[in-house]
Amino acid sequence: MRPYSSPLRAEAALTSRCNLRCRYCHFFGSAGEKKRELDTAEWLGIFDELGAMKVMELTLTGGEVLLREDLPELIAGIRRNNMRFLLLSNGFAFEEHHAAMLKESGRCVYVQISIDGPEAANDLARGSGTYARAVRAMKLVLRYGIPLTVRMTVGRHNFRLLPETARLMIEENNVRALTCNPAFHFTGKEDESDLPWIMSRREFLTALSDALATARNHPERFSLRGTMFGRAAAQWSHLRRCRRENPPPAAPSPCASNCLAQLEKLYIGADGSVTPCNHLPDAVIGQAGRDRLADLWENAPILRQMRAPGEALLQEFPLCRGCGYAPWCVPTARCLNSGGRASFVCLKLHEEEAPDFDFEEMKWKQNAVLK
């Protein structure tokens, strides 16, 4: 698979600090959490470099981005380099001056506010009062005419609440763009305090079925594009159709790939460490400010491996050997079984654990027993 000549987009984790401690958070205790943060001048230099590479879009993430006191200066640096940006926030510290600054920039594609469902479920995982603060932030964003996306993180505490959350956000809060993604565990994470909040495979299937139904019921407002739910549904449908209708191909089909991050983006951590994606915090390919980002994009060995044809990479994982879907499956190899845990979007594992799930209709069969 050939990458673009330069990344289409990049993610910048401006800080590892956060004002919340969500129970399921994969970030804290993982290799993604950094003790050192780049200063203003260092980030501005990186933005200049990304601008020279003609990166079109920058995602500002953390930690919690709003904890950076120099955020206005950083956004001015993004503007100078003619890049658009997205800002991801939990909304707790969002104030009117933030909304005014983002509106004035003229380069904000949207603000994403995180929420976990109705108030009780949200505050259980995120902390008391976080729902009210998130809703307040949403209203400020909308009042200033900034595009808003609300993102629901789905875990064991709220996996049955997708339809209710969509109704609450769309009908009562006038949210025009809603999406969701499952909570997941970084395999390099030192502690496992988040695991009780992570869905089982059967719970994931329930959430997936409800997410697809919610997308059908609210096609203009609720989207699974670019989410783990959306990718799982698309890849599973593709793999089952290939095995049913086609002889094994001479080489794996690239359209079955679960993720194309290695072809179109870079992730820069709070300390300047560069990885292909925030899901791979231990796969450091270089250091922004020290290494030329253009050189890393072209020549980093990890990226070259991830861009290689998938057939050989499948043999790295015992899970994949002998799998009936292997001739068509092109996983993102480092993500599939990093640290010994198989991907929670592996079709083979879900079929084995849920024979009472209809993988064609993406819903539970009538005789399914759900807890």
Question: For the segment 231-262, what is each residue's pLDDT rounded down to a tens digit?
Answer: 889 889 988 998 888 776 555 544 444 567 77
**Higher-confidence position of 67 and 246:** 67
Domains and CATH numbers, the chain: 9-364 (3.20.20.70)
Q: What is the pLDDT of residues 296-325, one digit of tens each?
A: 999 999 888 777 765 555 666 677 777 888
Supply the pLDDT for residue 254.
46
Identity of the amino acid at 153? T
**Predicted structure pTM score:** 0.90
Q: What is the pLDDT of residues 356-366, one digit of tens each?
A: 999 999 999 98
Q: What is the pLDDT of residues 151-208, one digit of tens each?
A: 999 999 999 999 999 999 999 999 999 999 998 866 555 567 777 888 999 999 999 9
Q: What is the mean pLDDT of the chain?
A: 88
Percentage of the chain beyond pLDDT 70 is: 85
